[in-house]
Amino acid sequence: MPEKKILIIDADVASRNFIARNMLDQKYEVIQAGSGKEGLIYAWRDRPDLAVIDPTITDITGEELARKLKQDARTSNMPLIALSSDPSVVRIKPCLDAGFSEYITKSGQAVAILNETAKRLLGLSDMVARKGGLLMVFLSAKGGTGTSSMCANIAMNIGQNQPEARVVVVDMVLPIGSIAPIVGYEGKQNIVTVAEMLPEETSLEFFRDKLTELKIWRFNLLAGSPDPESSNHLKAGRVGDIVSALKESYDYVLVDIGRSLSRITLPLIQNADLNILIVSTDASTVSLTKTILEYMKSKSVNEDAIFAVLNRAVGLEGLSKAETEKALEISIRTTMPYLSSNMSFANSHHQPFTLKFPKDTASIVFQDAAKEMSNLARRLRAE
């Protein structure tokens, strides 16, 4: 395990030392600061991987400290954990709004919660990385590339190819989900409402039994935010716990993030068994995709775990497969053929493409791609 550096900012010496000893026991390198100003100096100088902050520090408010850290390029991606004796909503909400990833109230369980939260935010949790069902993330660099249609149809084909497997699709496209209109889901349960539930309410049994089952699609669904306003209330700190629970409850967890690359979705990409990157053929999208690839590599995403799909579904114009591979410097593993209006027709009828057009060449491509993605994710997990 690579050594990670933790910054602790707490004015109370006894509390700070107690947290530091715990973190040292977890094999982290520890830096301590007794004030917000001192914490900023250490954060920008030493570049820690995560900060644990008591937001009740007095020289700088916890909210202002978080904003300063998030606004500086040196620390903008550093996860922040608030660890406080103040359990009030008037303290918690401003902290989360200011940029804290998690808010933990000091209690008898706080140390255990802190340890698990730190592991999850740092991408070191075995439960997230190497246990449970296979995690497959679908993403793109630009809207309109067909990412959500690809995610839903691949999930359906995995379920069809492996009838014994349990498959769930999670819509993390922000600010408004895009899977529900494709599959015809109109229920009120979604990622925002589930994240608002208490941890004890979202047991493994809840995820196994209470998520909507779409029988024709052969998967269960955790729908996305129904509107932009709702997405503003998403409790981002709960996303990791939800995905971990889903991995324990299902054999395959497919997460559609579209082009919603953010501090919420980056840990999913980093911990995915397979990242399915959807590319359209226009030059601007290919250029943006190159930027996304470089960013993923800078975040230590395994290149072998990137499954590039060239989607010609929307038209024949644009770059060829060879030209796209040369521009991206990565192999295209699957090329979707031109679908004319068939995909839109299937989506408008809320039906899987392979059921609506079983003899279409694209149906065979969907089936083969689903098998190849499953096999590759399983092989990478075993390595």
State pLDDT tens for residues 21-70.
Answer: 999 998 899 999 999 999 999 999 999 999 999 999 999 999 999 999 99
Distance CA 307, CA 332 (A): 7
Q: What percent of the chain has pLDDT over 90?
A: 69
Residue 128: per-residue pLDDT: 45
pLDDT at 233: 87
Over residues 186-192, mean pLDDT: 96
Residue 101 has pLDDT above 90, yes or no: no
* Of 100, 71, 68, nearest in space to 86 by CA: 100
- The rounded distance, in Å, linking the Cα atoms of 52 and 365 is 48
Q: Where in the chain is the domain with CATH 3.40.50.2300?
A: 5-121
**How many Å apart are CA 176 and CA 229, to the nearest integer?**
9
How far is the C-alpha of 216 from the C-alpha of 367, rounded, in Å? 16
Residue 314 banded pLDDT, cuts 50, 70, 90 = low
First to last CA, the chain: 16
What is the dotted CATH code of the domain comprising 5-121?
A: 3.40.50.2300
Question: Which range has the top average pLDDT, 124-133, 159-168, 296-305, 316-325?
Answer: 159-168
pLDDT score for 315: 63
Question: Mapping DSSP to helix (H, G, I), strand (E, B) and coil, where does residue 239 land?
Answer: helix
Peptide linkage before 175 cis (omega within 30 of 0): yes
Residue 154, amino acid: I
What pTM does this model have?
0.71
Give start-end residues of each CATH 3.40.50.300 domain in the chain. Answer: 126-382
Yes or no: say if 68 and 100 are a contact pair by the CB < 8 Å rule: no
Residue 127, pLDDT above cutoff 80 = no
Give residue 338's pLDDT band: very low, low, confident or very high (50, 70, 90). Answer: confident
Task: Give the CATH number of domain 126-382.
Answer: 3.40.50.300
Tell me: pLDDT of 317 over 50: yes
pLDDT tens digits, residue range 78-94? 999 999 998 888 888 89
